[in-house]
Structures are given as structure tokens and as C-alpha cells.
């Protein structure tokens, strides 16, 4: 039976984990070979994806476990190099699972295309002209990409924005046309760019100005995903801290990030520690997601926390995360890279909306994992214990010696490459 609750998964060997995964999923022989191969991206395929290819660069692919989202089990593939991320997300997901799991929702999949117009002799008249031709412009946009309309999407609305209106700024005034496009399960970059490029000549004619940029915006604030969890304090208790102490510490840590951009950047980086690995594993554009998320964190005029944490009337810890999430389940690299295809198969999401909701849930879990560690034993205790293996490898350890050196580093509380090299030489002798 498929479940994300797999006790002892961390202690299994790689082969044991692979066997368990095979038992949970029905993989073809080809899929199994791709999933368990150390070279899942052939050089000839890589050569068609980007320019000047000389090889490929692999990342560890781990599984985020214990996730229960809207009552559904999710095993979450995460491609990332930093230790403790997968363990932390899985640990918090187990706590949230015991509290009933994450609840999520998402808006329609509406992305934005922008057309920049400068030099209109009468910018207000240009705005009126565009709005008066709204329906014709939307029809022309949809005519540029009829296959999207056939799938139930397409250009749905438009808006005209005037920048530096009435300003003496050295930049001058300009007009920007926003075209709002439902991209269905595609990220939509190529779709939107095709549409706005098709509209450019008509826009120039209507505004009597010059069109320069016509391109999508990665600030997808009409394409949002939200996740929420409610945790009784008893589930947050540790050996040295009561659940109420942990709850209050998390709330105060959030308040710090909400007020101080210097703290917010690190706070939000921890959220993206959970988000980016899924975006990468599923073949989506993690740079676009990062850019949109950080812009959304500054939407009120100051860069602030992406998450919100507070105590409800019953004394529970409540966490919420809402972010733009321009991810896809079709198109781009999602179906080109064999491992991305496998990631989608393991997640078993039915739409881009569902994928977005899983992603923000992992981001919320990752944030709580970091905050809980910070307000209790400190971030380094668990992180450095997991990091010790990487240090051992960097010092030249291999095979069984990796764990031996890692254990010795932890025991001596000196997790650094120089010390690891000394221990490797001692063990070899």
C-alpha cells in the first residue's frame, strides 16, 4: 500500500530503500533503470537541452516522507545537496500528520504577459484605446495559441498600467499592458511570450507608441498556492522544552523575521530549502519560483517573512504559507529529463495546482523545522551531525570508513575537514 509513513527509512541501505519504493509503485523496467541509474541523463539528451554541453551534474535525490496533505499521502522527491533538509522536512511532516496533516488550496493558473509601450503622445488616450479594444486583443492573443484554448485555458483578461504617471522622473512615463492567461498545467512562458509578441503590432497601432519588451512576468501573483497546519503544543514537546515553550519560541522567531529584513532573508532561505528541491526534481524552473517568492515577500513595501506563525484561541501553533507558484506538470523539462518524469510519477499529482500545494506544504514544514531547532537546541546540533558524513568524504574517506570518521567527528565535537583528514590517516594506519 502506498504511504508516506515509512518508519526506519533513514536507517535502510540504498538498495533496501529502492526495493521498498519498487514495491509501492508500479515501475516499468525502463523506469526502474532510469531511477536507479547513476547516469539518468544521457549526454546526447543533455546536449539538446542547453548549449555547450560537456557533461552532466548530479544531485542527491531523496524522499520527503510522512506528508499528509488534504487527506492524501505524498512521497516527495527532493533533489538537493545540503544535509538535514530532507530529514527536517520529514520530521516536521510527521508531527503535522499527527495533528491531522496540511490543508491547502490554490487559485486558478493565471500567469501574466507584459507589453511595454513608450513614447505615446497621449498616454491616457493610449490607455483608453487599449481598453476599448479589450475583447479584440484577447481574441487575437488566443488565436496565437489555439491549442491552449482547446485545453480550457487562454487569455482571459487584460489591464493597462501607467508607470511614472505625471512624474518628472528621468525614466519618463510608460504604459504597460498586462495580459492574464490561464496556462492550465503548463508553466506558460512560451505560450505567453508567443501571445504578447503577436499582439505587439496592434498595441503599437492603438497607442501610437513604440513597443519594446513583450514577455511574461515571473511575478505570478495571480497564481497562488496556500498551505496551513494547526499543531497542538503537546506534539512540539522535546526532552528539554515544553510544547508551549517551543510554540512561543516559534512565534517570536517569526515575529523577528516579519519585522527585520536581515532575519527575513535567512528565514525565507530556509523555506526555499524545502521548495527548491521539489521544483528541481520535477523539472520546473526554480529560478522563476525563487524570484516570484522573494518579490511576494516584499509586496507590502518591506521584505518580510513568507510564512506566518501564531497561537490560536485553543493554544495551538498555527502556520500558514502563501506564495506564487508558477510550476507545471507538462511542457518544458518536466517530461524531458527521465528523473523528472519519475518524480511526477512518485508524487502522483493530477494537476499543476496540486503540485503547487504540495510544494508550499513542504516549504512550510521546512520553515518550522528550522525555527523549532533554533528556539530549542540550536540549528547546528542536528545539521552538523548530518554534515559530518560530507566532511568525511571531503577528507578522503570512502565506503564503511565514511560512517566511522563521521561518528568520530561527532564524538569529538570537531566537525571540520582538517580533523577528518587526521582521523582518516589514523584509521588507515
Categorize the per-residue pLDDT at 25 as very low, low, confident or very high, splitting at 50, 70 and 90. confident
- Asked if the model's pLDDT at residue 230 lies above 80, the reply is yes
- What are 156-189's pLDDT values in tens digits? 999 999 998 655 556 778 999 999 999 999 999 9
Q: What is the mean pLDDT of the chain?
A: 91
Q: Would you state the pLDDT for residue 386?
A: 62
Report whether 227 contacts 360 (CB < 8 A). Answer: yes
As a whole number of angstroms, the distance between CA 204 and CA 116 comes to 10
The stretch 398-407 carries a mean pLDDT of 78
Whether 9-107+223-376 shares its CATH topology with 110-217 is answered: no
The stretch 201-213 carries a mean pLDDT of 98
> What pTM was computed for the model?
0.89
- What are 76-129's pLDDT values in tens digits? 999 999 988 999 999 999 999 999 999 999 999 999 999 999 999 999 999 999
Categorize the per-residue pLDDT at 26 as very low, low, confident or very high, splitting at 50, 70 and 90. confident
Q: Map out the domains of the chain as residue ranges.
A: 9-107+223-376, 110-217, 382-428
Burial class (CB within 10 angstroms; exposed 0-12, middle 13-18, buried 19+) of 141: buried
**The domain over range 9-107+223-376 is classified in CATH as 3.30.470.20:** no
Report whether 61 contacts 342 (CB < 8 A). Answer: no
Q: Would you state the pLDDT for residue 1?
A: 65
The mean-pLDDT minimum among 68-72, 96-100, 167-171, 297-301 falls in 167-171
- What are 239-264's pLDDT values in tens digits? 999 999 999 999 999 999 999 999 99
Q: What are the CA-CA distances from residue 262 to residues 254, 367, 413 (Å)?
A: 13, 16, 29
Categorize the per-residue pLDDT at 141 as very low, low, confident or very high, splitting at 50, 70 and 90. very high
Look up the CATH number of domain 110-217. Answer: 3.30.70.420
Report whether 127 contacts 134 (CB < 8 A). Answer: no
The mean-pLDDT minimum among 1-15, 26-40, 49-63, 211-225 falls in 26-40
The mean-pLDDT minimum among 31-35, 60-64, 224-228, 273-277 falls in 31-35
Q: Which three cell numbers stand for residue 162?
A: 501607467
Q: Tell me which residues are annotated as active site.
A: 82, 269, 285, 383
Q: Would you state the pLDDT for residue 381?
A: 61
Report whether 303 contacts 19 (CB < 8 A). Answer: no
Q: What are the CA-CA distances from residue 198 to residues 18, 104, 146, 203, 291 (Å)?
A: 49, 36, 13, 10, 26
Q: Would you state the pLDDT for residue 170?
A: 63
- What are 341-400's pLDDT values in tens digits? 889 989 999 999 999 999 999 999 999 999 999 999 865 665 566 667 778 877 778 777
Categorize the per-residue pLDDT at 410 as very low, low, confident or very high, splitting at 50, 70 and 90. confident
Q: How many CB atoms lie within 10 A of CB 161?
A: 12
Amino acid at each position: 500500500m502506498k504511504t508516506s509513513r515509512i518508519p526506519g527509512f533513514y536507517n535502510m541501505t540504498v538498495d533496501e530503500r529502492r526495493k521498498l519504493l519498487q514495491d509501492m509503485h508500479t515501475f516499468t523496467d525502463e523506469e526502474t533503470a532510469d531511477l536507479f541509474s547513476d547516469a539518468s541523463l544521457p549526454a546526447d539528451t543533455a546536449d539538446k537541452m542547453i548549449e555547450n554541453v560537456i557533461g552532466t551534474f548530479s544531485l542527491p535525490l531523496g524522499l520527503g516522507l510522512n506528508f499528509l496533505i488534504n487527506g492524501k499521502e505524498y512521497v516527495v522527491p527532493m533533489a538537493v545537496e545540503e544535509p538535514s533538509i530532507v530529514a527536517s522536512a520529514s520530521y516536521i511532516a510527521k508531527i503535522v500528520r499527527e495533528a491531522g496533516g496540511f490543508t491547502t488550496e490554490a487559485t486558478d493558473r493565471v500567469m501574466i504577459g507584459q507589453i511595454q509601450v513608450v513614447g505615446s503622445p497621449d498616454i491616457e488616450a493610449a490607455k483608453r484605446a487599449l481598453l476599448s479594444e479589450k475583447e479584440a486583443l484577447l481574441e487575437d492573443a488566443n488565436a496565437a495559441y489555439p491549442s491552449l484554448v482547446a485545453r480550457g485555458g487562454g487569455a482571459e483578461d487584460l489591464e493597462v498600467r501607467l508607470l511614472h504617471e505625471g512624474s518628472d522622473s528621468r525614466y519618463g512615463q510608460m504604459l504597460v499592458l498586462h495580459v492574464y492567461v490561464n496556462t492550465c498545467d503548463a508553466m506558460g512562458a512560451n505560450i505567453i511570450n508567443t501571445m504578447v509578441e503577436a499582439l505587439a503590432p496592434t498595441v503599437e497601432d492603438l497607442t501610437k507608441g513604440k513597443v519594446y519588451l513583450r514577455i511574461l512576468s515571473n511575478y505570478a501573483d495571480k497564481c497562488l498556492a496556500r498551505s496551513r497546519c494547526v499543531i497542538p503544543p503537546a506534539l512540539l514537546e522535546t526532552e528539554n522544552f515544553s510544547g508551549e515553550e517551543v510554540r512561543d519560541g516559534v512565534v517570536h522567531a517569526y515575529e523577528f523575521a516579519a519585522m527585520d529584513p536581515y532575519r527575513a532573508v535567512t528565514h525565507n532561505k530556509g523555506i526555499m530549502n524545502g521548495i527548491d528541491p521539489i521544483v528541481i526534481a520535477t523539472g520546473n524552473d526554480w529560478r522563476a519560483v525563487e524570484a516570484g517568492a522573494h518579490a511576494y515577500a516584499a509586496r507590502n513595501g518591506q521584505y518580510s517573512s513568507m510564512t506566518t506563525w501564531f497561537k490560536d484561541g485553543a493554544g495551538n501553533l498555527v502556520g500558514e504559507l502563501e506564495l506564487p507558484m508558477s510550476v507545471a506538470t507538462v511542457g518544458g523539462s518536466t517530461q524531458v529529463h527521465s528523473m523528472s518524469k519519475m518524480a511526477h510519477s512518485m508524487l502522483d499529482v493530477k494537476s499543476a495546482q496540486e503540485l503547487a500545494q504540495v510544494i508550499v506544504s513542504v516549504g512550510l514544514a521546512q520553515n518550522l523545522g528550522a525555527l523549532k531547532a533554533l528556539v530549542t537546541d540550536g540549528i547546528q546540533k542536528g545539521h552538523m551531525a548530518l554534515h559530518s558524513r560530507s566532511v568525511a568524504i571531503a577528507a578522503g574517506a570512502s565506503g564503511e570508513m565514511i560512517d566511522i570518521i563521521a561518528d568520530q567527528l561527532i564524538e569529538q565535537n570537531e566537525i571540520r575537514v582538517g580533523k577528518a583528514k587526521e582521523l582518516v590517516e589514523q584509521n588507515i594506519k
